[in-house]
């Protein structure tokens, strides 16, 4: 189903041929994508940057991105060669790691960054430790924001389950109704959408093995 067909299904469910917006449709799609059950729907995006010598704070460009998933730094010596996955740690533990990298004379002990913490504000940012002792290539893995559904956009859900977007959108539309029957139907639609969560996950995994008989077989020679 593309956006136009999803819109037609919403019209059918809410029994309103005049319904013409994509507000509830996109709200429903975002809710499904952000539910935690379908992180693959958002897709990933990777960008490269550089850690600079002696700099520990870096702004994040989150335009069109949902959240930072993983952070990698590329080692250059024989011990830490290749991409190393950095560990995100909470603020208190991060400060402990910073303290661990202070030498007895009070100076910093720089090296390959291993840990980072995130901060929000006017701009999202990260702080790393140890302090970089040279320039390092860094790779950011992000989750994308769900794409906007318009008339011609086809959602990333498996085709057999595109109707769940229409059902949840109809539920969102009807839940504001003053008619008790509409509200009851809205609740039924929402329950049906998330009841099918496991089927959607299975249909999104190519080559899955489901319902395989686990009894050992005896072969005739």
Distance CA 70, CA 57 (A): 17
pLDDT tens readout for residues 150-177: 999 988 777 888 888 999 999 999 999 9
Residue 78 has pLDDT above 50, yes or no: yes
User: What's phi and psi for 38, nearest 5 deg?
Assistant: -130, 55
What is the chain's mean pLDDT, rounded?
Answer: 83
Q: Find the mean pLDDT for residues 25-45.
A: 73
The per-residue pLDDT for 26 is: 92
Q: What span, in angstroms and rounded, lies between the C-alpha atoms of 68 and 101? A: 25
Q: For the chain, what are the domain ranges? A: 3-40+146-203, 43-144
This prediction's pTM? 0.58
pLDDT at 183 over 50: yes
- Integer Cα distance of 34 and 86 in angstroms: 24
Comparing CA positions, the residue from 2, 30, 16 lying closest to residue 173 is: 16
219, pLDDT greater than 50: no
Q: 190 pLDDT exceeds 80?
A: yes
Res 24 pLDDT > 90: yes
pLDDT at 43: 65
Rg of the chain over Cα atoms, rounded to whole angstroms, equals 25
CA distance 202 to 215: 22
Nearest to 149 by CA among 44, 22, 8, 31: 22
The answer, yes or no, to whether residue 185 has pLDDT greater than 50, is: yes
């Amino acid at each position: 189903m593309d956006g136009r067909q999803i819109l037609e299904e919403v019209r059918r469910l809410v029994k309103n041929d005049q319904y013409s917006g994509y507000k509830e449709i996109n709200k429903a799609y975002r809710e499904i994508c952000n539910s935690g059950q379908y992180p693959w729907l958002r897709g990933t995006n990777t960008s490269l940057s550089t850690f600079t010598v002696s700099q520990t704070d870096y702004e994040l460009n989150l335009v069109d991105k949902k959240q930072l998933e993983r952070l990698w730094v590329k080692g250059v010596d024989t011990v830490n060669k290749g991409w190393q996955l950095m560990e995100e740690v909470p603020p208190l533990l991060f400060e402990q790691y910073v303290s661990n990298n202070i030498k007895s004379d009070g100076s910093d002990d720089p090296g390959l960054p291993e840990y980072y913490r995130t901060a929000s504000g006017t701009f999202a940012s990260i702080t790393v430790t140890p302090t970089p002792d040279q320039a390092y290539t860094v790779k950011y893995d992000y989750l994308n924001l769900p794409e906007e559904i318009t008339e011609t956009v086809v959602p990333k859900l498996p085709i057999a389950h595109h109707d769940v977007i229409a059902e949840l959108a109809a539920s969102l539309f009807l839940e504001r109704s003053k008619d008790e029957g509409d509200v009851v139907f809205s609740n039924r639609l929402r329950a049906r959408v998330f009841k099918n969560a496991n089927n959607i996950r299975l249909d999104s995994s190519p080559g899955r093995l489901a319902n395989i008989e686990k009894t050992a077989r005896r072969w005739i020679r």
